[in-house]
């Protein structure tokens, strides 16, 4: 079961850890930082080699093209604007039967 510590107990544990491992912590943090940086560079290089970046760009372009807003705009482009008043252009008028 997970033990819950008070603030003072955590401070005491932190002080003891620093006394025991104080000289090793900066070296460990530096090594972890270098490892993370190397991992990120490796992932970036792998994406560049395999062309994943270009595929992602193409996918984003396709998603933008077929977005619901663009589809709606294309479908309703030739329809009259519903906010404009409609003019009756029928042949029936004052002089016609």
Which DSSP string do the residues of the chain spell out, in sequence order? -PPP--HHHHHHHHHHHHHHHTTTHHHHHHHHHHHHHHHHHHHHHHHHHHTHHHHHHHHHHHHHHT-HHHHHHHHTTTSPPTTSPPP---S--TT--
In the chain, the number of structural domains is: 1
* Domain that includes residue 41, residue range: 29-75
pLDDT at 79: 74
- Render pLDDT for 15-70 as a digit per residue (tens, 0 to 9): 888 888 888 878 888 999 999 999 999 998 988 888 887 888 888 888 887 888 87
Domain membership of residue 4 (yes or no) is no
- The answer as to whether 18 is a domain residue is no
pLDDT band at 96 (very low <50, low <70, confident <90, very high): low
pLDDT at site 55: 83
- According to the model, what pLDDT value does residue 31 have? 92
pLDDT average, residue stretch 68-94: 72
Look at residue 63 and tell me if it is in a domain.
yes
For residue 54, tell me if it sits in a domain: yes
Q: Does residue 48 sit within a domain?
A: yes
Record the pTM. Answer: 0.41
58 assigned to some structural domain: yes
pLDDT grade for 2, boundaries at 50, 70 and 90:
very low
Q: Is residue 49 part of a domain?
A: yes
């Amino acid at each position: 079961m997970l033990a819950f510590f008070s603030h003072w107990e955590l401070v005491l544990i932190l002080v003891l850890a620093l006394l025991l491992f104080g000289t090793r912590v900066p070296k460990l943090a530096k090594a972890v930082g270098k490892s993370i940086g190397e991992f990120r560079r490796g992932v970036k290089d792998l994406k560049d080699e395999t062309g994943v970046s270009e595929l992602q760009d193409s996918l984003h372009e396709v998603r933008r093209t077929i977005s619901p807003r663009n589809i709606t705009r294309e479908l309703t482009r030739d329809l009259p604007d519903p906010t404009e008043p409609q003019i009756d252009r029928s042949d029936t008028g004052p002089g016609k039967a």
